[in-house]
Amino acid sequence: MPKKYPPERYIKCHDCDKILIKSGNNPKRPRRCMACFTKWRLANPTFTKVYKGGITKGPFGYVVVMAKDHPDAVNGYIRQHRLVASQMLGRRLEKSEVVHHINGIKTDNRPENLVVCKTNAEHIKRFHPAKKCKVEGCGKPNKALGLCQRHYQRLKHYGRLVNRKGEVL
């Protein structure tokens, strides 16, 4: 059975006239139901005390900037390095283009620190070259644990690296 409150505790939502139970004593604060408050909050992001001008750290450590009208914005935010790179080029970046931070610091979005690659394949080829197998004299591309496919399989099978004669490498 729902708890009953005195009549003065019941108020109407400021926007939709839904009946609410008043909490707190601030008469100046407009009262809104949760749905109306969420809509109001999205429309007024600067109202919060912790607002930092629409700049925050997003997923994977990149700086994201509020840009509600930008065509590439996701939930009203765009990664700052992509925005800076598009301003450098004077055009919008395509989805396939990758922006690389030269010094590896994800929050350093100075134009001189950014390079735009046409595809992820070009980005990997230019900035993340394939590492070679750490077994002396092998030189094949690295698969896992710094070993090529052949040496990795031997490590898994024997528990240590051995050559065909059974000698430990």
Question: How many structural domains does the chain have?
Answer: 3
CA 88/CA 99 separation, integer angstroms? 12
Give the CA diameter of the chain: 91
Q: What is the pLDDT of residues 34-81, one digit of tens each?
A: 888 888 777 776 666 666 677 888 888 999 998 888 899 888 889 999
Nearest to residue 83, comparing CAs of 59, 61, 103, 55?
Answer: 55
Regarding whether 74 and 111 lie in a shared domain, the answer is yes
Entry pTM: 0.55
Nearest to residue 111, comparing CAs of 89, 88, 93?
Answer: 88
Give the torsion through C-alpha atoms of 87, 88, 91, 97, to 10 deg.
-110
Domain that holds residue 83: 55-127
50 lies in some domain: no
Regarding whether 155 and 112 lie in a shared domain, the answer is no
Regarding whether 164 and 138 lie in a shared domain, the answer is yes
Amino acid at residue number 63: V
DSSP 111: G
Regarding whether 159 and 138 lie in a shared domain, the answer is yes
Regarding whether 117 and 103 lie in a shared domain, the answer is yes
Q: What is the pLDDT of residues 105-164, one digit of tens each?
A: 999 999 999 999 999 999 988 988 777 887 878 878 787 777 888 888 888 887 877 666
Q: Are 133 and 146 spatial neighbours (Cβ–Cβ below 8 Å)?
A: yes
49 lies in some domain: no
